[in-house]
Amino acid sequence: MDERKGRILALGAVVAAALFWSSSYAVTKQVLSDVGPLSIGAIRFTLAAGLLAVMMRLRRRPGTRPDARQRRLIYLSGLLGITAYFVLENIGVELSTASDASLIVATYPLMTMLLELVLFRARMPLLRVGGVLLATAGAFLVVRNGAQVGGSSRWLGDVLLLLGGLVWGGYNVLVKSMGRGHDALDLTYYQTVAGAAGFLLASCLEAGDWHVPDGSASLLLVYLAVACSVGGFLLYNYGLRRMTSSVAVNILNLVPVFGVLGAVVINGETVRLGQVLGGAIIVAGVALGVVERRTSVAEAAAPEPASVGERA
């Protein structure tokens, strides 16, 4: 495969991952009419864990099995990044709208940056500060618009989605603290098993409402498991191995755009000017943060500057 074709395939893979992930909000909103938010998570991630188990069984070169301490940390990250996060997301989407969720999720990378600042005393340059402030202002506009249009329930849903961003940031910090060297498929499998187990326990709270989903809801649940939970991950990592991480992260700024389009097409939601303005400000803030991060990474990778006399 020539280099140009490889770049095009990598770009297409990451864009496809963004499309799958962005569609999950609108699809989840559809399924919520027939299945409870906790049961959705239990079904979705149990199916995903089963599919990942088959993939691990069939792969030709097994990865190195994590030791007992590593597995405990991986299981904890699964409970945080899958169970806790998706409980907040699913309930937030149920109370709010898929379009609000798509826009608010764009603030998550900057929430992770803030957690890194607090926990690791990471450097916070001026452009990144500006990006955080811009994204915060955009999120405020989205939440304020939700409160004006949908009342207290939509406002609470938006707040839960923002709390989900803090949980997602905590997940990223935890995974980062575990260090590198873990096989991606192993890591995702163990995390998904832990997240599915947590959801199965949580879904017992909805036991009184359990029933067999109708055909449409069942197909959408399979879509969430296969396309969003497994396919998106595989596509993203395929592209990530063939491009710089900063480019891949920048492409994920398409998630709120695709997500709002999905909410309009799939759910028939009406997007108001306040949402559009808030979403645009959020994306601008995230873009500032990404540009700054790309600059700092390039500077860190550059050799130490030579003395004035040696610069010829």
CB–CB of 49/193 below 8 Å? Answer: yes
DSSP state string for 82-129: IIIHHHHHHHHHHHS-HHHHHHHGGGHHHHHHHHHHHHH-----HHHH
- Helices (runs of H) and strands (runs of E) counted in the chain: 13, 0
Mind listing the pLDDT tens digit for each residue in 87-101?
999 999 999 888 888
Please state, for a pLDDT cut of 70, what percent of the chain lies above it. Answer: 82
Please state, for a pLDDT cut of 90, what percent of the chain lies above it. Answer: 31
Residue 35 DSSP code: S
Mind listing the pLDDT tens digit for each residue in 152-205?
788 899 899 999 989 988 887 887 777 566 677 788 888 999 999 999 999 999
More confident residue, 179 or 206: 206
Mind listing the pLDDT tens digit for each residue in 212-251?
999 999 999 999 999 998 998 888 878 877 776 656 666 7
pTM of the predicted structure, to 2 decimals: 0.79
Q: Which residues, 6 or more positions from 100, have their beta carbon under 8 angstroms from its beta carbon?
A: 142, 143, 146, 154, 157, 158, 161, 275
Provide the pLDDT for residue 127: 74
What is the chain's mean pLDDT, rounded?
80
Exposure of 73 by Cβ count < 10 A (0-12 exposed, 13-18 middle, 19+ buried)? middle
Q: Dihedral (C-alpha) 83, 237, 22, 265: value to the nearest 10 degrees?
A: -130
What the block records as the tokens of 125 is 């340059």
Instruction: Determine the Cα–Cα distance for residues 1 and 127; give it in Å rounded to an integer.
Output: 39
Instruction: Determine the Cα–Cα distance for residues 146 and 100; give it in Å rounded to an integer.
Output: 8
Instruction: Taking each helix axis as running N to C, give the angle between helix 85-95 and helix 37-58, from 0 to 180 degrees, rounded to the nearest 10.
Output: 140
Provide the pLDDT for residue 247: 63
Alpha carbon 5 to chain centroid distance? 27
Residue whose token pair is 């699809």: 27
Provide the pLDDT for residue 301: 41
Provide the pLDDT for residue 176: 72
Instruction: Determine the Cα–Cα distance for residues 306 and 296; give it in Å rounded to an integer.
Output: 19
Provide the pLDDT for residue 168: 87
Provide the pLDDT for residue 147: 61
3-state secondary structure 180-218: CCCCHHHHHHHHHHHHHHHHHHHHHHHHHHCCCCCHHHH
What Å distances lie between residue 138 and 144, 150, 283, 292, CA to CA? 10, 18, 8, 19
- Residue 49: pLDDT band with limits 50, 70, 90: very high
DSSP state string for 244-262: -HHHHHHHTTHHHHHHHHH
